[in-house]
Each structure stands twice: as C-alpha cells, then as structure tokens.
A = this chain, B = another copy of it.
Amino acid sequence: MNTITLLISCKDQKGIIANVTNFIHNQDGNIVYVDQHVDREQEIFFMRTESEFSGNDFNLETFKAEFNKTIASAFDMKWRIYTSIEKAKMALFVSKYDHCLYDILGRYNSGELNVEIPFIISNHKDLKPIANSFNIPFYYIPVTKDIKNEAEEKQLKLLEEHKVNFIVLARYMQIVSDKLINKFPNKIINIHHSFLPAFVGAKPYHSAYKRGVKIIGATSHYVTEELDAGPIIEQDVTSVSHTHSIHDLIAKGRDLEKIVLSNAIKLHLNRKVMVYNNKTVIFS
C-alpha cells in the first residue's frame, strides 16, 4: 500500500471537492482523509487528502500528469504531492542549549519521528558529545561577522550534498541570512522563546519579567526575512507569577520550547501545514 498526500490551494470556486475526490476515486484510490478550509475574506480554498493506492497498479508520475491536466489546470491550483515511501531529510542547527536537541533526538531514537537526520550543524562545539551518542554527524561551523558568508557557504554545501528537505533551528543563536531562507522557503522551522508577537527579538524572558506578565509562551514558526515574524506553526504557554525569577522563567520556558518545537516538526513532517499570506493552515 502506498499512501498519497495531496495538498491543494486555489481561488475558491464551486465543484473543487467533488472534482478532486472523484478524480482520486476514478484512479482507484481510497480516500482515507479529507479536510478543507476556505479563507472567506481572501476567497482562497485549501484542501488536504490522504488516499491509499495498491502498490502494484499505482504510478506516481502518471497520477501527477493526469491530475495536472484534468484538475489542477481547470481550477488553476497550486498543489504538492507526497508519498508515504519517501522519508524526509531534516538538518538540525544548534548552538549551546541542549534541551531541544535532546528532545528531538530522543523522539528520533524511539521512532516517533519518521525522518532522516543526515547531520547537525553548530557554531559551537559544546553539543558534539550529544550528537556522537546518537551517532549523528556533527559539523562545527563557527560564525563570526567576518566569516559569516564563508560559514553559510559551508552550510549550503552540506545541505545540498545531503539533499536536505528542511531545516530545524533548535535554539540556533544566529540570524539566518536571506540566501538560506530563499533556498528553503517555509522550510526552516525556528523556535522563538516567547508568545509571538509579544517580545520579538533577543532576551524575551527578560522582557517578560520586566513587563510582569502572568503567562509566558513559546512559538514555532517558519523563518522569513523579517525577524520572528514568519508564519506561526505552533504555540503554547504556561503560567508564571511574581515568585518566578528570570532564571525560573528561562527554566519553565525550556519545557515549552522543546515540546512546541517537536510538535511543529511533527506537523511539518506529516505534511499538515499549508502557508499563505504569512499564516498557516494546520490540518489536524
């Protein structure tokens, strides 16, 4: 059995659902999941289907060509398709904090994440022993103002060599340049340690402490050129009080960060996320 995930968006119009489901049905696919969303203000239609095809008869390229010709062109669709056979390749970028890295690798190790991790990149050597203990190659690529370009070239070379599909910034403490962002549009997942759009930028826990908020948060989003302003994938919060020092906020925040980031990775991996207008549709 091969499970095909199809993601579609186009201008909202009559007959899309019937036509798409009918097409899959006629191709002998069994639709096991369908969800759809319409942005009524923008009049944009979104749809996600999962369909099972028996392995022998099914030819992906034929399916794609046929779908493009008969359906996608008729409705002027943007669409993406994935098969359950492919395994995505995810690169991890880290610095010195280890809590997100442990969380991701622990899940990876226990089979919770259906992904390959070809390597970990870091601008510090601190977390190399963790990479080693999970048998994942670790590349130390220092970044300073003077060698930022050079460092990025090294990163890009590794990403290309390993045919990486998406990047996870697991508390990577460097701003990623437009060059990388443009090569991986909506494919770089960051974890920001605040409830965005509150406390953009550096030291959000310090700002939260100063402002005296009663709840802190963490936000996982796709990286865009504007800092901490990309499409939000997942957020979570926890209660705090005057009794918590900045140190306490940081500690409580770590637990949010790692869970929120791992949840965002899972949503991305399961092709549940569609991006438009700097927002996300998250199919459940």
What residues of chain A have their CB less than 8 Å away from a CB belonging to chain B? 14-15, 17-19, 21-22, 24-25, 30-40, 98-99, 102-103, 106-107, 109-110, 112, 133, 195-199, 210-215, 217, 231-237, 239, 241-243, 245, 251, 254-255, 259, 262, 277-282, 284
Q: What residues of chain B lie closer than 8 Å to A232, measured between beta carbons?
A: 211-214
Please tell me if the beta carbons of B34 and A25 are within 8 angstroms of each other in the complex: no
Whole-angstrom CA separation of A50 from B278 in the bound complex: 28
Secondary structure type dominating chain A contacts = mixed
Instruction: Give A199 Cβ to nearest chain B Cβ, in Å.
Output: 7
A-B contact pairs, 26 of them (CB 8 A): A14-B30, A18-B18, A18-B22, A18-B24, A19-B25, A21-B22, A22-B22, A33-B36, A33-B38, A34-B36, A37-B243, A102-B106, A112-B251, A195-B195, A197-B198, A198-B198, A212-B277, A212-B279, A212-B280, A214-B282, A241-B284, A242-B279, A243-B284, A255-B262, A259-B259, A284-B284
Select which of B14, B213, B255 is within 8 A of A235 by beta carbon: B213
Q: What residues of chain B lie closer than 8 Å to A17, measured between beta carbons?
A: 21, 25, 31, 34
Closest 8 pairs (CB-CB, A-B): A212-B279, A18-B25, A133-B133, A102-B106, A198-B198, A18-B21, A214-B235, A242-B281
